[in-house]
Chains A and B, each alone.
Chain A
Amino acid sequence: MTIDLIDIALVAGKIGLIFLVILGLAAYLVLAERKLLAYIQERLGPNRAGPWGMLQPLADGIKLITKEDVKPAGADKWLFYLAPAMAAIPAIMIFAVIPFGPPITLFGREVGQQVVDINVGLLFFIAFSSIAVYGVALGGWASNSKYALLGSIRGLAQLISYEITMGLSLVPVVMLARSFQLSEIVAAQQSCWFIVYQPLAFIIFLISIFAECKRIPFDLPEAEGELVAGFHTEYSGLRFGLFFVGEYINVIVLGGLAATFFLGGWHGPLLPPVVWFLIKVLAFAFLFIWVRGTLPRLRYDQLMHFGWKVLTPLALVNILATGWFIVLKG
């Protein structure tokens, strides 16, 4: 395997660009969420820092950086410090395999508009989303606090359960595209998006990613009515900020994946591919915020029953039906 400097520079450039864009998007998603929730609740939302509160993310960032970093007595020092990174890093790493446009020609060589196009891209995503559990689990455990521990135990159980439904809902996609490679999954949807063939799988996947993001109606790990703030109760300053930004990065990444698996990725008429991809991701982000503004929280046993007794059997039946469909179609 020979690697020359231009290749390394291209990959480094792509990583840097994605990092900046995602962090910027995540920061403004916080603002968008506050604004939209305010409109849903007939309030104004943040409107003092800059026009329409556009500088609010900057102000929030400065506040978080300058805040005191509190470590509770009796906390497990290193794990307490490490946990926020363990929550945010896997989320951003998943973006490495998402294609956001067709390959283009740069410096006389074909450059794919994604960081790496490995042939197990879909499994890479499942692997890293299962690793993201450690951030929640260790954050709550290392805090040495009852509420945080309860939050992280709930989080663990919820994430394990919904990972299974998420994985099962993606099996029909792989069966239709005949590949784990995300660029090939997108290419297979050139004429018809998979949501047309697989509406049930799409709904199951959507519900599962709501649970994976730990957002309303599945925000049991941080249910503020009963657990103060769940697994990040004891965190403050930039470490809390990392948990918080990690959640929004997760929203962007999972929205991008939902677009890739079911909505044809970057395919779309007239507009350039990257713009189409961005539109789809932002549409999912809007849906996340909208749902947060309208739905109540589930009870814990309802959440587990729904995952194991409704979604998992449905996903299995869906796989069986897809198998028959493919066989009969020939």
Chain B
Amino acid sequence: MEQTLFYILAIVTVIATILAITEKHPVHAIIYLVTSFFALAVVFYLLAAPLIAVFEVIIYAGAVMVLFMFVIMMLDQGNPEEARCPLLVHCLPALVLAGIILAALLLLLSGRSTPVAPIGGGSEKRLLDVADFAITLFKKYGVAIEIISMQLLFAIVGVLYLGRRRKP
């Protein structure tokens, strides 16, 4: 049953993501992307990681996409049908990155590298515990978390600086 559910959700995710890219209307694209995030969240839940599933919905579907939508509604683009397909030159960096990711994926699939051990060191089927997750995140990777949060703070200050009212 879990496998059936997984395949249904996987198909939904892929189709919704493709539609989100090809759809020309920004608001419709957002709806497709949110659908894809939702299906992905349920996939995480099936993988016994409810915490990640909920974060996926809160952060991506509930915060990031809502902000996108807010901006799109504020700007209220007149005729979105005029959006053109980008030139091949513009796609080049994305294609290079995609190639690197694909190579890494193939390397993983070929079984050369050992898989990362699950958090807490338990068996694979165990439910991801919130306390274990927090301890691993803040004790083992504490410094990294601090650096990332400082970076986010710098970003906020930078945005405030750029968006300040200049004196006439």
A interface residues with partner B (beta carbon < 8 Å): 1, 3, 76, 79, 118-120, 123-124, 126-128, 130-131, 133-134, 137-138, 141, 149, 152-153, 156-157, 160, 163, 179-180
Contact = CB atoms under 8 A, between A and B. Distances in A.
A219 B168 CA distance: 37
Contacts of A149: 73, 76
- Mostly, the B contact residues are helix
A206 to B, nearest CB: 22
B27 A118 contact: no
Contacts of B130: 119-120, 179-180
Contacts of B69: 134, 137, 156
B155 to A, nearest CB: 17
Closest 4 CB pairs of A and B: A130-B62, A127-B57, A123-B54, A127-B58
B54 A130 contact: no
B2 interface: yes
Q: How large is the interface on B (under 10, 10 to 19, 20 to 34, 35 or more residues)?
A: 20 to 34
Contacts, number: 72
Interface in B11-29: 27-28
Contact of B61 (A131, A141, A179, A180): A131
Interface of B: 1-2, 27-28, 31, 34, 50-51, 53-55, 57-58, 61-63, 66-67, 69-70, 73-74, 76, 127, 129-130
Contacts of B76: 149
Contacts of B53: 120
A303 to B, nearest CB: 16
B73 A156 contact: yes
A120 B52 CA distance: 10
A7 to B, nearest CB: 13
B50 A120 contact: yes
B122 to A, nearest CB: 15
